């Protein structure tokens, strides 16, 4: 019985996973900053347009902005968030190496933010051969150096 998933993963360049964890950390910091700025601008704009009424009715916009930020940027042509691109990273489907569809990219963001409730889950990347976190595995993606 052969493992059909082994061939594409073995097809990664030798240096495709080199320094990925460190680069992902810095990319995350940049992306959190950018999402925060986008959410603040959106919230401020809605406050002005609704004359302050949105302050009482709007839920926090950060999770919603983060969902679409990750979904649209990772599933786009450049296959990564601005933070990932700045750190020379891209996200691909783990089985085929193809571009990540929007639903997987957005689900990846949801799984990532949920994993903050269980910080020990981030240690999975220390034992995984492809340096993937649990939220990467659940979304079916792998983060590699830009090809």
Look at residue 22 in the predicted model and tell me its pLDDT: 87
- pLDDT value at residue 73: 93
CB 72 within 8 A of CB 3: no
The rounded distance, in Å, linking the Cα atoms of 63 and 71 is: 12
Rounded to whole angstroms, the Cα distance separating 114 from 120 reads: 12
What integer pLDDT is reported at residue 26 of this predicted model? 94
Distance set, CA 66 to CA 51, 54, 57, 86 (Å): 25, 19, 19, 18
What is the pTM (predicted TM-score) of this model? 0.78
Count of beta carbons in the 10 Å neighbourhood of residue 122? 15
Residue 139 · residue 107 · CB < 8 Å? yes
User: In 10 A of CB 51, how many CB atoms?
Assistant: 8
Distances (CA, A) of 120 to 15, 26, 76: 27, 19, 31
Q: What is the pLDDT of residue 37?
A: 94
- Burial label for 35, CB within 10 Å (0-12, 13-18, 19+), is buried
pLDDT recorded at residue 6: 36
Q: Give the pLDDT of residue 72.
A: 93
Mean pLDDT, contiguous 10-residue spans, the chain (147 residues): 40 68 91 93 89 79 89 90 92 84 91 89 84 87 84
Alpha carbon distance 58, 74 (integer Å): 26
């Amino acid at each position: 019985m052969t493992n059909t998933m082994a061939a594409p993963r073995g097809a990664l360049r030798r240096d495709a996973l080199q320094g990925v964890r460190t680069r992902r950390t810095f990319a995350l910091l940049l992306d959190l900053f950018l999402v925060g700025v986008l959410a603040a601008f959106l919230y401020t704009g809605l406050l002005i347009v609704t004359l302050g009424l949105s302050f009482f009715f709007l839920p926090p916009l950060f999770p919603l902005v983060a969902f679409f930020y990750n979904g649209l940027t990772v599933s786009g042509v450049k296959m990564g968030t601005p933070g990932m691109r700045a750190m020379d990273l891209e996200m691909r489907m783990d089985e085929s190496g193809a571009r990540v569809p929007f639903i997987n990219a957005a689900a990846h963001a949801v799984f990532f933010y949920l994993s903050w409730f269980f910080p020990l889950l981030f240690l999975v990347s220390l034992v995984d051969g492809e340096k993937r976190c649990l939220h990467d595995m659940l979304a079916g993606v792998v983060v590699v150096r830009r090809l």
